[in-house]
A and B are shown apart, each in its own frame.
Chain A
Amino acid sequence: MAHLDTREKLAILADAAKYDASCASSGTSKRSSVGGKGVGSTEGMGICHSYAPDGRCISLLKILLTNSCIFDCHYCINRRSSNVRRARFTVDEVVRLTLAFYKRNYIEGLFLSSGIIGSSDYTMEQLVRVARTLRLDHDFRGYIHLKTIPDAAPELLEEAGLYADRLSINIELPTEAGLAKLAPEKNGTRIRGAMTGLKTAIDDNKDARKHYRRAPKFAPAGQSTQMIVGADSADDSAIVATAHGLYGAFGMRRVYYSAFSPIPDASAVLPLVSPPLLREHRLYQADWLLRFYGFAVGEVQDATDDGLLPLDIDPKTAWALKHRGQFPVDINRAPREMLLRVPGLGVKSVNAILRVRRQRRLDLADVGRLTRGIERLRPFLIAADWRPLALSDRADLRATLVKPAAAQMELFGS
């Protein structure tokens, strides 16, 4: 391999990492660099330091240690048979880049992943060395997310958890059949086995810290995973069910959905179409219904048409339109669970409504002040001065709730 300087390597190894959706830097323990020898702090809420024109937040330096890989997964740009340029960072290069970016306030920390080189253990060892150097040699207290190699030795995963805020293993595809077809060398059972290992280690650590406050923290921001959407034939119902299983079985903090996008030198097995971004968005909305709105998996699936979430309306509206009998909801009497079902009412609005309700009855104008707009809500609500007139029986209700497609913003028109 010709000699590449750090910037050339960065171009290759950032390009190779861009298919990972996760860039979160939130939810870890609170730290600062006060009293330390280095830089870095984490204060709960993550910070997005920039945004790319793809709308994704740039919070972490998200790179691969190397994009060489012994695996040949069809959806992956780094697969063995792919023709992309290969590069490999040294441990020291990653450490220096992370610190240089951090000190200029470009990033919250590092998200490091890697192609498999040599063996799983060897690769994992390299990842751990980067984290260890940052933490021990440089007293770096910013955020570190390490992508975990499923087959690596448990001791390595344990050490990784001591330095990293978050560990993740990608489930890759929503179904076992998809995995077998597109990532024949990966094994769903092994992936789930590694997730179980992480969950156990995280739970044990929480338990230990209850008894010994000084026990070192293990991956305080927990574990997350990613599913590629649109590369195989799994429908939204199947994806939601898989996600629900991942949250339940492994205590995932987040499941990320990544619309499959065409990659250079892709395998011919894959569909060559634009990434289904709207579908990805609807899946995130469905995910939120599961996690914050008290929806059961079956209820989210109920919002689909033959397994696919509608693209023209959000899943909560879709569910409401299929269960019109449960509306309108009385804003002054309904329990929290039912308020959360009203399309257009978010968790914050519902909490505010409940607070106000303790003091007085709300009218429609009050609701308007607590939400992003009353028009969409009207058909679903009863307020002190408002009762919808058979609105919820209207056949054309759906059409009135579809937002007109926003024209793309003209950013650089002459």
Chain B
Amino acid sequence: MTRITLASPDDFEGFRAAVRRLIAAGAPPESVVWQVAGADDDLLGNDAAVLANGPELRVAKAFPDLARRVICNRDPERFALLHRALVALQSRPKLLEDSADPLVRRLDMLAKAVGRDVHKMRAFVRFREVPDETGERFAAWFEPEHHIVRLNSGFFIRRFTTMRFSILTPGLCLHWDGETLSYTPGATRADVPDGDPIEATWKTYYANIFNPARLKIDAMTSEMPKKYWKNLPEAELIPDLIAGAARRTRSMIDASQADAATGPVATLRAEASACQRCALWRPATQTVFSEGPGDAVLMLVGEQPGDQEDLAGRPFVGPAGQLLDGALAEAGIDRARAYVTNAVKHFKFEQRGKRRIHAKPGIAEIDACHWWLDAELRAVAPKVVVALGATAARALTGKAVTISRERGRGTARPDGSELWITVHPSFLLRIEDPAAAALERQRFIADLRAIAARVAALA
């Protein structure tokens, strides 16, 4: 049994000197007990001195680099593992390149854990300003997992050469006065006073750079494990940020809905031209918005653009539009003075051969487009609103409506305007019996006359 005592847990030079003698003496790795001064209760003693000084070992260049990192791992077996590897390297010089070898793999993992700890220390050390009589001075408290303070000192000095700083840890403390580096024994967290006002500013930054719409908590915790949180000033915000995320996202959406739906008709038309609020935009040629003055007293709401409207980009220009024009004229309404629009702004159709056959818009589409209709009602603020057909009535009342029951009379809308419901002109086009068609046309015109009278009274 050979007992070796190293000066500190990361004593690479001591390890190198001892292992050189052990190999020269042919000591088998399992016969060596490695200890660290002050850390182990075993009887102290160093048998390395009695061994003959060995010759310079010839090892792969990668070995010292690997060993320097492995030594810093807190795994008590690290010295014995390195010793074993050195023995094996004497007969198999390229062993280290065999990352799949269990011993090499083990050493690689130890070194990797140290590398990760080194990286996390560089990331998560948080300095506080603790000024003294000579000016600016900084101190930090950090709890590394491995014995990495010495290994990592160069980084902090290269980065903060002109600063005076200390990094206190439970095992070892590092001090840089701008010119020289010194170490003192471990300290406690209370040795670093708090009260740096910049921490509040940093937290402000942290809270605001976070996007609540994309919560990915495990991505955060895999890179910033909770064990580090207690020494990160910003981490105390995390629970509240997560708890408030859903609410903040909702308010972002609400705010956007509330605000975007205002503005003059011209703005709405421009924005609606790129509308993708439902899937109808894909096959359609274009958004068919409205026609007519932005301050009209009368607003006519149809169902949706048809084949010809879709191509022209204007509402009510096809056969139903022509019928509407005639009926309006007969009822004494000037279409040019009315605001004419549709409940749904894109043409919904089924392709049959070369023909595009009108398809009735669904509730989801009506609701998606309701956004625009609402905005139009706010922008135009008409006194009389006319729903032409069931789709428009659904869009304006929010429920299914039986037209025959509702037609012929106005009802008050919450915004103070008057809602009239009548048939859609295309309904008249679909009646095959000429006598019945003529009768329905007269009923339609009668509705429009009543509406005209209300418009005249309210204008």
Contact = CB atoms under 8 A, between A and B. Distances in A.
Interface of A: 6-7, 10-12, 14-15, 17-19, 32-41, 43, 45, 47-58, 61-62, 74, 83, 97, 100-101, 103-106, 181-182, 233, 259, 261-272, 274-275, 277, 352, 355-356, 358-360, 362, 366-367, 369-370, 406, 408-409, 411-412
Interface in B268-290: 271-272, 274-277, 282
Contact of A268 (B127, B160, B196, B260): B260
Contacts of B375: 268
Q: Which 8 A-B pairs have the closest CB atoms?
A: A55-B219, A55-B216, A366-B100, A32-B158, A261-B213, A52-B210, A266-B256, A268-B260
B102 interface: yes
B58 interface: no
Contact of B205 (A34, A61, A272): A61
Contact of B218 (A33, A34, A370, A408): A408
A355 B224 contact: no
A369 B255 contact: no
Interface stretch (B16-24, B182-190, B231-239, B413-421): B231-239
Contacts of B218: 55, 406, 408-409
A36 B200 CA distance: 29
Given A33-B159, A33-B162, A101-B198, A262 B127 contact: no
B43 interface: no
A17 B375 CA distance: 30
B216 A277 contact: yes
Contacts of B366: none
B205 A53 contact: no
A49 B124 contact: yes
Contact of B163 (A39, A181, A266, A412): A39
B4 interface: no
B138 interface: yes
B102 A11 contact: no
B214 A275 contact: yes
Give the size range of B's interface with the partner: 35 or more
A31 to B, nearest CB: 9
Contacts of A259: 214
B116 to A, nearest CB: 12
Nearest to B251: A264
B98 A356 contact: yes
Given A50-B206, A412-B239, A105 B252 contact: no
Contacts of A49: 123-124
| Majority-rule SS of A interface residues | loop
Interface stretch (B242-250, B353-361, B376-384): B242-250
B204 interface: yes
B127 to A, nearest CB: 4
Interface in B282-303: 282
Nearest to A348: B99
Contacts of B216: 53-56, 277
Contacts of A181: 274
B224 A51 contact: yes
Contacts of A48: 123, 223
Given A54-B211, A268-B271, A355-B98, A104 B196 contact: yes
Interface in B14-66: none
B128 A7 contact: no
B259 A83 contact: yes
B94 interface: yes
Interface string B86-104: 0000000010011110100
